[in-house]
Structure 1
Amino acid sequence: MQWQLQDAKNQLSSVVKKAADEGPQMITVRGMPAAVVLSMEEYQRLTKPKTRLTDFFKDSPLHDLDLDRSQDTAREVEL
């Protein structure tokens, strides 16, 4: 559903209830989409990471890179 900003302000509780019951509610300003009101459940679903960070790194094509630092204490530099 679409709401003009003024209507959404005047009927905020209705906008929030409809977001929870019916899904996202779009708010427009001068006829242009400006914001969306989501239910908390929908927001959490959208912001929840798809995988755990540790699994992401394990599955990365770069997971077997050798990242150990060199134990050399000095390097020759040409001046």
Structure 2
Amino acid sequence: MDPNPWSLQDAKNRFSAVVEAAMSGAAQFVTKRGRAAVVVVSATEYQRLQSVEKGQATSLAEHLLAMPQDDQEFERIPLTPRDTTL
């Protein structure tokens, strides 16, 4: 985390400064009650992160094809059905 995070109150009071700093390329960390809450990043950085995430995700077809194709048994978790009476 950033060594100088914004408290939520300071971030609200100086939102323009938070946005300007994020737009300059520095992610802005905001805390709430002393705990990390959110990170403000520029729209460009957000779009870059989204494209990286999408590029690493497998498609449904790739996921299904990666499943074992043999007829071996697998461990089943012993569960009982829930009572569905209305």
Same fold? TM cut 0.5: yes
TM-score scaled by length of structure 2 = 0.58
State percent identity of aligned pairs.
Answer: 40
1:50 aligned onto 2:66: no
Q: Which has the larger radius of gyration?
A: 1
1:25 aligned onto 2:21: no
TM-score scaled by length of structure 1 = 0.62
Q: How many residues align?
A: 62
- For 1:7 and 1:52, locate their aligned partners in 2 and report how far apart those are by CA, in whole Å: 37
Describe the superposition over 1:17-51 as per-residue Cα deviations: whole angstroms up to 9, x where unpaired.
00111421000011100111010011001111216
One-letter identity of the residue aligned with 1:50: G
Which position in structure 2 is the counterpart of 1:41? 44
RMSD, aligned CA: 2.6
2:25–2:42 Cα contact (<8 Å) kept:
no
Uncovered stretches (5+) of structure 1, i.e. residues with no partner: 66-79
